[in-house]
Amino acid sequence: MTTNLSKRAREIVAETLPMMEQHRAPLEEALERYMASQGPYDPPPGRTKVTTGAIMDELLGHARELAGNAPATRIVETARAHRALALGGEHYFCFGDGLKPIMKDALGPKATSPVLAAWTDAYWAVVRMLFAQDTRLAA
């Protein structure tokens, strides 16, 4: 499965993937707090940690594939795992809404406009692939 992620976005993701992996814990913790404070869902205790961990795994794992311009071969596995966790649109959209401002806070001056745009584009490209795959699994 391929995406329409631009070549420049792929390059930026490839260049900054080590930085994102290095800052994973603070990013994930901030996203967890953000998602717990948002709606429209009311997650049970501990659920937000599982959700943010699974989505962060998805983002970083598939970003590596996108950065290398490789096909997202593990998207079926990710879609099945997320389906088993009952992750849906509200989870992905909430995470996506918080991603850019949280990256700004966690990464400081390293979170340039091109970096934020590339990672946001990569995130939504992966989510689109997951939605397409989930639709196939449901059929």
- Would you say residue 2 lies in a domain? no
- Would you say residue 56 lies in a domain? yes
Pick 13 or 40 by higher pLDDT.
Answer: 13
- pLDDT of 135 reads 58
- pLDDT of 82 reads 83
Q: Which of 31-45, 85-99, 118-132 shows the lowest mean pLDDT across its residues?
A: 31-45
- Would you say residue 1 lies in a domain? no
Q: Evaluate if residue 1 carries a pLDDT over 50.
A: no
Whole-number percent of the chain with pLDDT over 90: 43
Q: Which contacts qualify for 26-31: CB closer than 8 Å, 24 or more apart?
A: 26/106, 27/56, 27/102, 27/103, 27/106, 28/52, 28/53, 28/56, 30/98, 30/102, 30/105, 30/106, 31/55, 31/56, 31/95, 31/98, 31/99, 31/102
- pLDDT of 41 reads 58
Q: Which structural domain range is residue 58 located in? A: 7-138
Task: Provide the number of structural domains found in the chain.
Answer: 1
- pLDDT of 21 reads 95
DSSP run (H or E) holding 8: helix 7-22
Name the pLDDT band for 69 (thresholds 50, 70, 90): low
CA distance 68 to 79: 21
The string of pLDDT tens digits covering residues 85-118 is: 888 888 899 999 999 999 999 999 999 999 999 9
- pLDDT of 3 reads 61
Question: Among 16, 19, 2, which Cα is nearest to 114's?
Answer: 16
- Would you say residue 91 lies in a domain? yes
Instruction: Tell the residue number behind the tokens 């992966």, with chain if given.
Output: 126
Domain with 14 in it: what CATH number?
1.10.490.10
Q: Evaluate if residue 122 carries a pLDDT over 60.
A: yes
Neighbours of 113 (CB within 10 A): 8
Instruction: Tell the residue number behind the tokens 């967890």, with chain if given.
Output: 32
